[in-house]
Amino acid sequence: MSKVRVLVGTRKGAFILTADGKREKWDVSGPHFAGWEIYHMKGSPLDPDRLYASQSSGWFGQLIQRSSDGGKTWEPVGNKFTYDGIPGTHQWYDGTPHPWEFKRVWHLEPSLTEADTIYAGVEDAAMFRSTDAGQTWEELSGLRKHGSGPRWAPGAGGMGLHTILIDPKNPQRMFIAISAAGAFRTDDGGQTWQPINQGLRSQHIPDPTAEVGHCVHRIAMHPSRPNVLFMQKHWDVMRSDNSGDSWQEVSGNLPTDFGFPIDVHAHEPETIYVVPIKSDSEHFPIDGKLSVYRSRTGGNEWEPLTKGLPQSNCYVNVLRDAMSVDSLDSCGVYFGTTGGQVYASADAGDSWAPIVRDLPAVLSVEVQTLR
């Protein structure tokens, strides 16, 4: 019997939600690491019971926790994230140079092919790799040093590397995204990188089509078609059919094209999901009506999915790492809100129900399909 495990990171701890393949009755475990911010948790695709969690606090800094039993028990592993060489500077909010300073790990991405390898995206933006299951970390400094680094600047939420996508057909190729620098690609396992932002237009930078400086919120891909990427930018939903070499806008009939997460249906590579948010200064749904929008055409034509979602007085946000899909048939879609709800749809978004309603603000949602 298939099972689903939903890993939920919140402002005040981690929660693990499990159900059988029907996805009707849920068991809730947590809070794990109560009182700590859990920016992200993710399981290894090679060993689903090996989980990693990014645990941080303003008082005590960054920790990485690892579980070998699906989250029943945890052990702290390495938390030393030291930039390679002299860190140098990036742009500060006022345009002045500012030293690179490690703040936290935003995203953890276990390798698809090496059981003990895991990548970490951090703030201030950089990518780290561990090849010993999180005990030690080394920076892949080719990203930060490739040339445009001194021109990167933080978004309002910090300068975090928040998206790491590994090409399942070519593990040497990875895509990452940074707020507010843009998207980048490596074709040699992280040694060298190039910006992939051609076609993006951002009004918040002096040159709207600049090589870097775009506030990319999230990128998603379908594993069967890794050359096709979907992006939720600060404003605009974008699509690339050539591994990021160029992008075109596919916002189409969305009521607003501002938002944070974007994800792809597990079995339909042209079916994508976003959560439209009113604006960059009003981080909540339009008219207090929480809606997921789905496109079955890879963008441009969107339909609202509202059944089971609050349609009045709802003023929550859905953060960039807080949406995920399972690979059951039919595809399950999940997202968490800053109001502490985790919603699940077992029918690809047609209808929704909350798994939990009153968690701390949800920072991340990852789903494991266990067979």
Partner 1 sequence: MTSTVIQVVLPQHLRTLARVGAEISLEVEGEVTQRSVLNALEVRYPMLCGTIRDHVTQERRPFLRFFACQEDLSHDSPDAPLPRDVATGKEPFLIVGAIAGG
Q: Shortest gap between Cβ of 51 and partner 1 (angstroms)?
A: 17
C-beta of 13 vs 349, nearer to partner 1? 13
Nearer to partner 1, 11 or 201 (CB): 11
Q: How far is the CB of 324 from partner 1 (least distance, A)?
A: 28
Q: Least distance (Å) from partner 1 to the CB of residue 332?
A: 33
Q: How far is residue 219's CA from residue 320's CA, in Å, rounded to a whole number? A: 9
Q: Which is nearer to partner 1, 124 or 257 (CB)?
A: 124
Residue 146 Cβ vs partner 1, minimum distance, rounded to whole Å: 24
Say which amino acid occupies 303: E
Give the nearer residue to partner 1 in terms of CB position, either 144 or 278.
144
Residue 334 CB, shortest distance to partner 1, in Å, is 29
- Residue by residue, what is the 3-state secondary structure of the chain? CCEEEEEEEECCEEEEEEEECCCCCCEEEEEECCCCEEEEEEECCCCCCCEEEEEEECCCEEEEEEECCCCCCCEECCCCCCCCCCCCEEECCCCCEEECCCCEEEEEEECCCCCCCEEEEEECCEEEEECCCCCCCEECCCCCCCCCHHHCCCECCECEEEEEEECCCCCCCEEEEEECCEEEEECCCCCCCEECCCCCCCCCCCCCCCCCCCCEEEEEECCCCCCCEEEEECECEEEECCCCCCCEECCCCCCCCECCCEEECCCCCCCEEECCECCCCCCCCHHHCCCEEEECCCCCCCEEECCCCCCCCCCCCCCCECEEECCCCCCCEEEECCCCCEEEECCCCCCCEEEECCCCCEEEEEEEEEC
d(C-alpha 364, C-alpha 292), whole Å: 17
Q: Which C-beta is closer to partner 1: that of 76 or that of 208?
A: 76
Question: 102 or 258, CB closer to partner 1?
Answer: 102
Q: Please report how close the Cβ of residue 131 comes to partner 1 at its closest, in angstroms.
A: 19
Whichever of 1 and 59 has its CB closer to partner 1, that residue is 59
Give least dist CB 367 to partner 1, A: 28
- Name the site residues for partner 1 (rule: CB under 8 A): 35-36, 57-63, 76, 79-80, 82
Minimal distance, residue 14 CB to partner 1, in Å: 14
Smallest separation (angstroms) from partner 1 to the CB of 362 = 21
- Identity of the residue, 61 or 97, whose beta carbon is nearer to partner 1 in the bound complex: 61
Using the minimum distance from each CB to partner 1, give the nearer residue, 126 or 237.
126
Instruction: Name the token pair of 45.
Output: 């695709």
